[in-house]
Amino acid sequence: MSAGLLVDAALGLILVGLALQVISGHQLFRSIVFYVAFGLVMAMIWARLGALDLALADAALGAGLVGALMMVAFRRLVEFEPVQTADAGARDSTLVPVVALLSAALVAALGFSALPVADIEGRAGELALARLDELGLGNPVAAVVLVFRGFDTLIEMLVLLTAYLGARVVAEPRTRLAEPVQAYELPLVRSLLAVIVPIVMLVAFNLLWIGADHPGGAFQAGSMLAAAGVLLLLTGRLLPVERSTWLTRLALMLGVAALLLLVLAPMLAGHVAMAYAGRGALLAAEAAMMMSITLTLTLLFAGAPAVRVLR
């Protein structure tokens, strides 16, 4: 048994243990905290599997942003109905473990049947890797996201926009983020912001810039900037407002628009759709996507149609 396998087994066991903690127990808040830990271990597993792009995205989103979203929703529920939210046990049924075991067995069977596929020649990933040199890009994931499967990414940006619009439609006009924490004028918090926010922006723009050749890109950069947005919202530097401006709406749609342009512009020039348009075009599209992703996730957290800067 090698040391690497031992690490993998330990990480897997920790992940399963954390998942069990998420669904068990009576306190909902405890479940949310365990879910954040689950996301962090997940990011470590991505790093172990060599998927650095995913480790970056999952550490910022799966652990950070989902946890923060859950805690804000929890706070709103506690304000509304303290008793039931604090105590949320499970219902008893003999059928439940059976269904769970069967679905676990199904997933395991799917996994085992998929493992031999790795040895087959001519997988999509191999094709992508083989044609990477033609594009002059160093990061195969960026090539897949923006070139080989650009159409998928376009639709995923549309899903992101739709989720945001859906959240706007169902949000009650009066519900907004509860008043920011009273402590936000503490000197320590001020210096934390002065240190963290510039570094996060530096890292995010760096991720965007190197995304074509190294792990990084619009999704990771956008999630990091959204995390900074959440920090600014929590400390009251950004305030949710009830009316959005045309600038906000434009920025929300910029990602979809840029990808549409990336997909359709080659057709105007007489090529097929999604023909490779060069590094500059990719970088521009990634920058637009980063802006949209950042703004969408920040506004989803704020629960408001727009934010403004505290003056």
Partner 1 sequence: MNDPLVYVLTAAAVFGIGVHGLIAARHLMRKLLAINLMLSAVFLLLLATSAPLGQAPDPVPQALVLTGIVIGVSSTAFALALMVRLVRRQGHASLGRRDER
Partner 2 sequence: MTEWLAIALLAGGCFFIFAGTVGMLRLPDVYCRLHAMTKADNLGLLLICLALAMHEGRLRGALLLGLIWLLALTASTVSSHLIARHARARRIATGRFGR
Task: Tell me which residues in 187-206 interact with partner 2 (CB under 8 A).
Answer: 188-189, 192, 195-196, 199
- Footprint (CB under 8 A) of partner 1, residues 227-286: none
Site for partner 2 in 154-183 (CB under 8 A): 181, 183
What are the backbone angles phi and psi of residue 18, rounded to the nearest 5°?
-65, -40
CB of 193 to partner 2, least distance (A): 9
Instruction: Figure out which of the listed residues 40, 44, 138, 140 binds partner 1, where binding follows CB under 8 A.
Output: 140
Neighbour-count burial for 125-144, b at 16+ CB within 10 Å, e otherwise = eeebeeebeebebebbbbbb
State the Cα–Cα distance between residues 222 and 295, nearest whole angstrom.
Answer: 8
Residue carrying the six token digits 């629960």: 303
Closer to partner 2 at the Cβ: 234 or 285?
234
**Contacts (CB under 8 A) with partner 1, residues 88-107:** 88-91, 93, 96-97, 99-101, 103-105, 107
**C-beta of 210: minimal distance to partner 1 in Å?**
16
Residue 250 binding: pick among partner 1, partner 2, none (C-beta 5-8 Å cut-off by kind): none
Give the shortest CB-149-to-partner 1 separation in angstroms. 6
- Give yes or no for residue 292 binding partner 1 (CB under 8 A): no
- CB-based burial, 270-280: b 16+ in 10 Å, e otherwise: eeeebebbeee
Place of tokens 């922006």: 201
Distance of alpha carbon 128 from alpha carbon 120, whole angstroms: 15
**Cβ proximity to partner 1, 123 vs 308, nearer residue:** 123
Q: Is the dihedral of CA 241, 247, 251, 252 positive or negative?
A: positive
